[in-house]
Amino acid sequence: MFFYVLCVLLAVQALSDVPPASPQDVHVDNWQLTWRPVPEEEKVTYMVTYTYSSDEWKSVPACANISSNSCNVISTKAEGEHRCVMLRVRAERRGLTSTPVKACSQHGDSCSPDFRLTAGPNSLAVHLSRNHSLPREHGEHLKHRVCYGKEGEPMQKYADVLSSVTIPDLQEGQRYCAQVQYIHFDSPLGPATCTRCEVIPKSRKYSKQLEVIFAVVLPVVALLVLLPGIAYFFIFQRERIKQWLRPPYQIPSSFLEPFGENYIPISNRSHSEEHCHVICAISPEDLRE
């Protein structure tokens, strides 16, 4: 019994020395920060911090050591440069903290870009929109940092661009994700967008090969199947074909009606019913006179 209690105490002590898991699905929408709480964790609180252009993260007073999984961060709007800040959340338990997780923007707003994703053969097109106040105010000093990667793998930077871009040389059939963030004079500005993913479709060259194969094989198969059937039909079903092609020969009852009473009836009696006289001899006409 003592050994069992000792094992339990050691397990509790070991678990208490392990930092809590990081919160998941951290995103901001219209200054409302939301995240998925740490599963199966007790006495866990959360700390929300922010920064605008440097690595110095400050705590949000209204979101410090809270137990809920959401917090309004509108107070940071006045603190940030261009009224834009980056946010992150970490979990805390008994003085131990988890790895902080940066928040992404669920929808494009004044501090986050808006983009669409289109998958093509071996490529991913990132369609960017500059219909926001920040691009209009800063012109070419404000760029879009495009990052991409396979789903479930770390994102890597592709380029800092002013307009839409296409990422080439991607693997077919794989699911790729992209994320975009504003860059002002090479410094991140505002939260990055939440990742969006698309599957790279198969190349059309394979579909063209299949089309060629079907165009060649199907006629050959059709001939091999149809020719024996047609030959059998014409050889062994000739009588039936003649019956199908024979026109109808029955005279309709209304055929003789236009002649009235003067038409000559056609006898249908057989030769056995007729009365005939036998001619015994024929003499020349002049002798009969």
How far apart CA 117 and CA 210 sit, in angstroms, is: 29
Domain 114-199: CATH superfamily is Immunoglobulins (2.60.40.10)
- pLDDT, tens digit, 9 for 90 and up, residues 155-178: 999 999 998 999 999 999 999 999
CATH architecture of the domain formed by 17-105: Sandwich (2.60)
pTM for the model stands at: 0.62
Confirm if 47 and 92 have CB atoms less than 8 A apart.
yes
CA 77 centroid distance within chain:
38
Amino acid at 121: P
Average pLDDT over residues 62-71: 92
CA separation for the pair 284, 289 (Å, rounded) = 9
Domain ranges in the chain? 17-105, 114-199
Write the pLDDT tens digit of every residue in 107-158: 877 788 889 999 999 999 999 976 666 666 666 788 999 999 999 999 999 9
Confidence of residue 235 (pLDDT cuts 50, 70, 90): confident
